[in-house]
Structure 1
């Protein structure tokens, strides 16, 4: 009975829900993706890749600074998040590369764009940049995954049991974690409410769990060496108080890619794009200067 109740408490991502979305939708091979263009049409293009649990509304505090500086910004919701579809799939690096490739092709985004990724999106952006060096100009990584030495928890490690635990209790656990982290880092109530709302949609937990298993904890040492070898200009921004992507990751990246520009924001946690937006925006815009 409890399983049935949990099932019916999950909201489907329906046309009715999508009526509240700004932006547009595009059909890709695995489903519909929600995206939005921001800023002047003739500006240099910056593609922004969000992280594990917070879709494109996470860029709330970056958009005005970036577009005000003349950049043409593309934001989108990964499959499994925001207003995009929730396909049943393995959410691994190949899955996300295909998602980005198809989106950029559908939207006719030419080569020479800048790419920015945050958290899991940083790991995806680094992987994409190493694969598609001919397409990107500059790469920006904000608290990027791919440099961790820790292991995933038992929910991510154990198939079947972990899937059942995520289905039954994942939403509750993610909401509690979001509220605790938000209160600790000083995230505003509106952003916390939006993050918690995500957990109530069907397919969200499965996408998060699959991404934990296949993206978050992979070692991207070889990827960052490739970025250095292929002369990709890289900016990496870390928070000194981040307990998700700890500052040790910045030191590790320094040892792998000697050409990467690394900025540490004192006192910032993992929500640095919200709590320390001015410092993040300042570093990003300085790096993007022609």
Structure 2
């Protein structure tokens, strides 16, 4: 029999607070943070914004944890939204279970977290791999999702996953450099991080979510928005059209000159949040 609870590898929570990684991404980066002791390891989450606000979950991507949403969440909160952010297993302050990091694990993480905090349903915003999680979650648990689902620089339909030669840290805009630096620090400091990344790439999250997007395309009650940077060299711009083909009711907004890390990129993040607020309202 498999051991229960699942064996886990420690998160940033266990690291010395003086380390550069914790200076770059502090545990209290947002107010009202806490841990959920899930069966698959401790999950760090934050809930910000007015208690009576429209509920939105922000789901980060493959390697950059919830620091990604710093500017986006501030705009949502100032416009009256109630926002949930959390670190996906094996990233940031959430422990890494010794399990495959596939759609099943990631949608269970969010479903259990919403049950824990008492949220019946919420709109979803998924970035990169978080888009694949949002699609899978909505396809499997439509009753836990409000009307609105946003796919930002979303993956899930890639033919294969390989590091792009032009996607190195040195060639990224400032936003990408922060993300890649944090990725390097997590690789150095968190023994479970690299395994979770590799599993995410090969076990269906990056390439195998066709079923979820297709199912969403048959849910006319769900409003979907696809936002993608034309200059994205991590998840190519062409992926947006693949998603649109499967989810024909989705609106597509292209951001001229935007790279992959739209939520952290000056100019691009403003265009995104403007369209996001309009869509959610």
Q: Is 2:196 the counterpart of 1:207?
A: yes
Match of 2:4 in 1: none
2:36–2:43: 8 Å Cα contact kept in structure 1?
Answer: yes
Pairing partner for 1:127 from 136, 140, 149: 136
- Cα 1:188–1:131, aligned 2, differ >3 Å: closer, same or farther? closer
- Using the alignment, how far apart are the partners of 1:12 and 1:279 within structure 2? 33
Structure 2, unmatched stretches of 5+, are 1-8
| RMSD over aligned Cα atoms | 2.4
- Using the alignment, how far apart are the partners of 1:188 and 1:144 within structure 2? 16
- Please, which moves more after superposition, 274-283 or 245-254? 245-254
Match of 2:241 in 1: 251
Matched residue SS, 2:120 = coil
- Using the alignment, how far apart are the partners of 1:244 and 1:187 within structure 2? 13
- Cα 1:86–1:254, aligned 2, differ >3 Å: closer, same or farther? closer
Q: CA deviation at 1:253?
A: 2.4
Q: CA deviation at 1:191?
A: 5.2
- Using the alignment, how far apart are the partners of 2:231 and 2:157 within structure 1? 16
Q: CA deviation at 1:51?
A: 0.7
- Using the alignment, how far apart are the partners of 2:139 and 2:61 within structure 1? 18
* TM-score using structure 2 length: 0.84
Matched residue SS, 1:37 = strand
* TM-score using structure 1 length: 0.81
Q: CA deviation at 1:190?
A: 5.1
- Using the alignment, how far apart are the partners of 1:188 and 1:129 within structure 2? 28
- Using the alignment, how far apart are the partners of 1:202 and 1:178 within structure 2? 22
2:47–2:83: 8 Å Cα contact kept in structure 1?
Answer: yes
Q: Is 2:253 the counterpart of 1:263?
A: yes
- Cα 1:44–1:204, aligned 2, differ >3 Å: closer, same or farther? same
Pairing partner for 2:273 from 239, 260, 281: 281
Q: What pairs with 1:211-250 in structure 2 (closer than 5 Å)?
A: 211-231=200-220, 232-250=222-240
Structure 1, unmatched stretches of 5+, are 1-9, 154-172
Pairing partner for 1:80 from 90, 104, 125: 90
- Using the alignment, how far apart are the partners of 1:188 and 1:222 within structure 2? 30
Q: CA deviation at 1:202?
A: 1.6
Matched residue SS, 2:97 = coil
Q: Is 2:114 the counterpart of 1:104?
A: yes
Match of 2:3 in 1: none
- Cα 1:12–1:100, aligned 2, differ >3 Å: closer, same or farther? closer
Match of 1:30 in 2: 40
After superposition, what is the alpha-carbon deviation per residue over 1:146-176, rounded to whole angstroms, capped at 9, x for unaligned? 1223x234xxxxxxxxxxxxxxxxxxx99x9
Match of 1:197 in 2: 185
Q: Is 2:42 the counterpart of 1:61?
A: no
Q: CA deviation at 1:228?
A: 2.0
- Using the alignment, how far apart are the partners of 1:179 and 1:31 within structure 2? 30
2:49–2:81: 8 Å Cα contact kept in structure 1?
Answer: yes
Q: CA deviation at 1:178?
A: 5.3
- Cα 1:61–1:252, aligned 2, differ >3 Å: closer, same or farther? same
- Using the alignment, how far apart are the partners of 1:220 and 1:203 within structure 2? 24
Number of residue-to-residue matches in the alignment: 256
- Cα 1:49–1:14, aligned 2, differ >3 Å: closer, same or farther? closer
Q: CA deviation at 1:199?
A: 2.0
Q: What pairs with 1:142-181 in structure 2 (closer than 5 Å)?
A: 142-149=152-159, 151-153=160-162, 179-180=169-170
1:59–1:273: 8 Å Cα contact kept in structure 2?
Answer: yes
Match of 2:62 in 1: 52
